[in-house]
Amino acid sequence: MSGLTKSPWIIHYDASSCNGCDIEVLACLTPLYDVERFGILNTGNPKHADIFVVTGSVNEQNRQVIKNIYDQMPKPNVVIGVGICACSGGVFKECYNVAGGVGQVIPVDVYVPGCSVRPEQIIDGVVKALGILEEKRAAFAAESKKGTDTGANADAKKDGGN
C-alpha cells in the first residue's frame, strides 16, 4: 500500500457556500469523527495537499481562485465537491453570478451531494477519493518514471506562474 492513501492531506476551499457544509467539514475533525485516525490532516495549503475539498457553488469571483489552487497542488491529487452547491450550483444555480458546480472549472473526482452534507457522507466521499488517488498515484509513478527517462518534464517548466 502506498503512503499516499495512508496520509491524505486536505485543503478545504469555501467557494461561496452558506457555511453549512463548511461546518460539517470541520465536524469531521472533532473527536466524534476524528478523521486524523486515517492520517487525514487539514493543511490549508494547496502545496501540501492531496485532496481538494470544495464547498459551495462557483461564481465569477472565485473561478480563477479555484483554478489557481488546483493548479498549485502537486500531482497526484483528487478533487471532492462537497454539498449540492459544489456539485451543481444547488439552489444558487440560476443566480446571475453563479457559474454552477466545481466541475465547471476543474475536473472533479468525487461528488458528495447533500444540503448540508453529513460528516459521515464526507468521510465516505474521502474514502472513495482515496481509491481514485491510489489509481492516480500508480499512473503518475509510471508516467514520471518514463518522463525522467526521456526528459519529457522539460516542457513542464514552461508553465510557470500561477
Partner 1 sequence: MIDTATASAFFTSGISQVIGALLFILLAPLVGGIITGLDRKITARMQGRVGPPVLQPFYDIKKLFEKEKMVVTTAENFWVFAYLVFIVISGMLLFANSDLLLVIFALTLAHVFLILGAYSTGSPYAHVGAERELIALMSVEPMIIVAAVGLYMVTGSFETYGIIVSSTAPILLIPCLFIGMVYILTVKLGKSPFDIATSHHAHQELVKGLTTEFSGSTLGMIEIAHLYELVFLLGFLFLFFGLAAPLIGIVVIAAVYLLEIFIDNAASRAKWQFVFKGCWAITLVLGFLNLFALYFVR
Partner 2 sequence: MLDMLCFLILFPLIAALLMLILPNGNARDIIVKIAALITAAGSVYLFIETFGKGIRYVSIGNGTVDLIVFVAELVIALFIIAISLKFRKYIVTALGAIQLAFVLYLEYLMHSGVLPAAGELFADEFSMIMTLIIGLIGGIICVYSVGYMRGYHEMHKDVKDHRKLFFFLIFLFLSAMYGVVYSNNLVWLLMFWEITSLCSFLLIGYARDELSWNNAFRALMFNVLGGIAFSAAILYIVAVIGDFGYLFMDKLLASGSAVAIIPAALIGFAGLTKSAQYPFSSWLVGAMVAPTPVSALLHSSTMVKAGVYIIVRFAPIYEMTYTGMALSLVGGITFLIASAVAIGQSNAKKVLAYSTIANLGLVVACAGIGTEAAIWAAILLIIFHAVAKSLLFLSVGSVEHQKHSRDIEDMTGLISEMPKVSVMMLIGIAGMFLAPFGMLISKWAAIVAFIDAMKPFGAVYIMIIAFGSALTVFFWTKWMGKLIEVRHPKTPLAREATPQEMFSLYFLTTLTVLATIFFPLISYDLIIPYLESLGSAVPVLLSSGDIITMFIMTVTIVLLPLSMAYFSNGRTIKGQYMSGRPVDAELNFSGSLGRTMKTDISNYYIEEYFGEEKNCRYGIVISVLILAVLAAILVYTFTSGAVL
- Residues lying near partner 2 in the complex (CB under 8 A) are found at 13, 45-47, 62, 64-66, 68-69, 71-72, 74, 144, 147-148, 153, 156-157, 160-162
Alpha carbons 114 and 146: distance in angstroms, whole number = 41
C-alpha angle 73-76-82 in degrees, rounded to nearest 5: 70
118 near partner 1, judged by CB under 8 A: no
- Residue 68: which of partner 2, partner 1, none does it interact with, CB under 5 to 8 A by kind? partner 2
- Residue 76: which of partner 1, partner 2, none does it interact with, CB under 5 to 8 A by kind? partner 1
Query: Between residues 60 and 71, which has the closer beta carbon with respect to partner 1?
Result: 71
Identified binder of partner 1 from the candidate list 19, 23, 44, 131, rule CB under 8 A? 44
**CB neighbours of residue 105 within 10 Å:** 20
CB 51 within 8 A of CB 129: yes
The 3-state secondary structure of 47-64 reads HHCCEEEEECCEECCCHH
- Residue 162: which of partner 2, partner 1, none does it interact with, CB under 5 to 8 A by kind? partner 2
Alpha carbons 40 and 62: distance in angstroms, whole number = 26
Q: Which residues have a Cβ under 8 Å from the Cβ of 39 and sit 6 or more positions away?
A: 6, 7, 8
151 near partner 1, judged by CB under 8 A: no
- Which residues are at the interface with partner 1 (CB under 8 A)? 2-4, 6-7, 29, 31, 34, 36-39, 41-45, 47-48, 50, 72, 74-76, 137, 140-141, 144
